Structure 1
Amino acid sequence: MSTEKKFWVEKLAEEVREKFKVSLYRTENGVGASGIPHIGSISDAVRSYGVKLALEEFGLKAEHIAFSDDKDGLRKVPHGFPEELKNHIGKPVTSVPDPFRCHESYGDHMSSMLLDALDTFGIEYKFMSGTRVYKSGLLNPQIHAILVNAKKVGEIILEVTGQEKYTHVLPYLPVCANCGRIYTTEAVSYDPNARSVEYVCVGGEIAGKWYEGCGFKGERKISEGEGKLVWKSEFAARWAALRINFEAYGKELTDSVATNDRICREVLRVEPPVHTRYELFLNKHNG
């Protein structure tokens, strides 16, 4: 019996190789675009990139995807940023102006901060913007499948997380055509023939504070790209559409990952990626 010890990324790469038989292996990390990147952001990328390198050591072709969650809404104004950003709370971060006027949007500015760090560390990646991916229609087949099976998705979310909301609200957030916010809308019905979502801008809790909706009622076709899946179903859509084989995740996302794994298998009929879970310890030094 071999007593050779293997590095953890090698063990994970072997698991990926055994689970998936593909010509190109893909690892992924998310790029948060709503707040300032931190040590957890870079560590997430390093873990997944390490598995990509291990796959290449096995003689396999692999690439790493850095996927920016820049269709997410702005939840709060980061410390030190202009207070005028409060006027854009709840709007997709790529619809929020860059307060420093060096990028096309606030979301682009925030994404660039982490991408600069990846470049500094020598991490090679293929960048994908969530906003552009939704606009391109790449996720449309998965969005359609999830909305057609919204009842099943809601049951999975309830069983895994205990959250009842998506048993009566669709797991999709349209951008309000009137006020431009994404976190104040509720999707109430889906027309599978027109592939359109009916919604109401009712308001929502954002970072612990309630924001009233504008009351607008409208429809959004999923082909417009003016909306997004909620996290508890979006990961599954991404993994399926991009054919992701590995993604690490922080401990705080355990329920979300478990939910998305089930949606992959039970709704989208694909195998979810191999994962590894990690956690970080915050050491506060008061001198």
Structure 2
Amino acid sequence: MGNMAAGSDSKIIGHGTWYDKMALKIVEREHRLGRSLDVIRVESGVAASGIPHIGSLSEVTRNYAVSLAIKELGYKSEFIVFSDNRDGLRSVPAGLPKSLEEHLGKPVTDIPDPFECHSSYGDHMVYLLLDALDKIGIEYRFMSAAEAYKRGLLNDEIRDILLNSTRVGKIIYEETGQEKYLET
């Protein structure tokens, strides 16, 4: 901890940062689009396919900072951690049992937990990250892709993307340079 003398001229660090600017952009966009500002949701998608690392934590903390900045602007904000736990296992992470190779390509929620302490491999990996978030005091609502799909929460969005696949592919290309979603 730094030594800060009582009554020093030190300024509070935080106001005017990139996340404050992003929060303001989000509020302005939502207002311009005529959307409700009752609750502004900020979401962080987290992988469930491997052991969480500094990048995983960084992704979540950046988005959490934006959610806090929205609150500082006087709006209610909800921070959601969304587990991409229907993703397929693409490779076996270093240090994990080679027996996982037989499950390559399967959704991580359909793979047994090799440590036998969670209902699936995906649940085990997500637990590790959520445990870290709890320990550092990040407040969030957890959502799982498996549960969202089961409850049909994304049906409208999936339908819209499929009905507009050509347009969506062009937008992805313009934003990322990825050509794989362009029709040929």
TM bin, normalised by shorter chain, reads 0.7 to 0.9
Q: What is the identity, as a one-letter code, of the residue corresponding to 1:96? A: I
Q: In the alignment, what sits opposite 2:179?
A: 163
Inter-CA distance 163–20: structure 2 relative to 1 (3 Å threshold) = same
Q: What is the identity, as a one-letter code, of the residue corresponding to 2:138? A: I
Alpha-carbon distance in structure 2 between the residues aligned to 1:49 and 1:116: 16
- SS of the aligned residue for 1:167 comes to coil
| Equivalent position to 1:6, from 10, 16, 38 | 16
Root-mean-square deviation (CA, aligned residues, Å) is 1.8
Deviations 1:157-188 (A, max 9, x none): 455525246526xxxxxxxxxxxxxxxxxxxx
Q: Offset of 1:154 from its aligned partner?
A: 3.4
Q: In the alignment, what sits opposite 1:248?
A: none
- SS of the aligned residue for 2:143 comes to strand
Deviations 1:174-216 (A, max 9, x none): xxxxxxxxxxxxxxxxxxxxxxxxxxxxxxxxxxxxxxxxxxx
Q: Offset of 1:88 from its aligned partner?
A: 0.3
CA contact (8 A) 2:113 2:119 kept: yes
| Equivalent position to 2:162, from 147, 161, 164 | 147
Alignment of 1:53-68 (within 5 A): 53-68=68-83
Q: Offset of 1:134 from its aligned partner?
A: 1.1
- SS of the aligned residue for 2:85 comes to coil
Q: What is the identity, as a one-letter code, of the residue corresponding to 2:23? A: A
Confirm or deny that 1:126 pairs with 2:160: no
Alpha-carbon distance in structure 2 between the residues aligned to 1:118 and 1:78: 22
Alpha-carbon distance in structure 1 between the residues aligned to 2:182 and 2:161: 12
Q: What is the identity, as a one-letter code, of the residue corresponding to 1:163? A: E
Q: Which has the higher strand share?
A: 1
TM-score, normalised relative to structure 2? 0.82
Q: Which has the higher helix share?
A: 2
CA contact (8 A) 1:73 1:93 kept: yes
Q: Offset of 1:25 from its aligned partner?
A: 0.8
Deviations 1:26-49 (A, max 9, x none): 111111101111101111111111
- SS of the aligned residue for 2:49 comes to coil
Gaps of 5+ in 2: 1-14, 32-36
Alignment of 1:1-287 (within 5 A): 6-21=16-31, 22-158=37-173, 160-164=176-180, 166-167=182-183
Q: What is the identity, as a one-letter code, of the residue corresponding to 2:114? A: P
Deviations 1:202-234 (A, max 9, x none): xxxxxxxxxxxxxxxxxxxxxxxxxxxxxxxxx
Q: What is the identity, as a one-letter code, of the residue corresponding to 2:169? A: G
State the identity as a percent.
52
Alpha-carbon distance in structure 2 between the residues aligned to 1:158 and 1:62: 31
Gaps of 5+ in 1: 169-287
Q: Offset of 1:13 from its aligned partner?
A: 1.7
Aligned residue pair count = 164
TM-score, normalised relative to structure 1? 0.54
Q: In the alignment, what sits opposite 2:3?
A: none
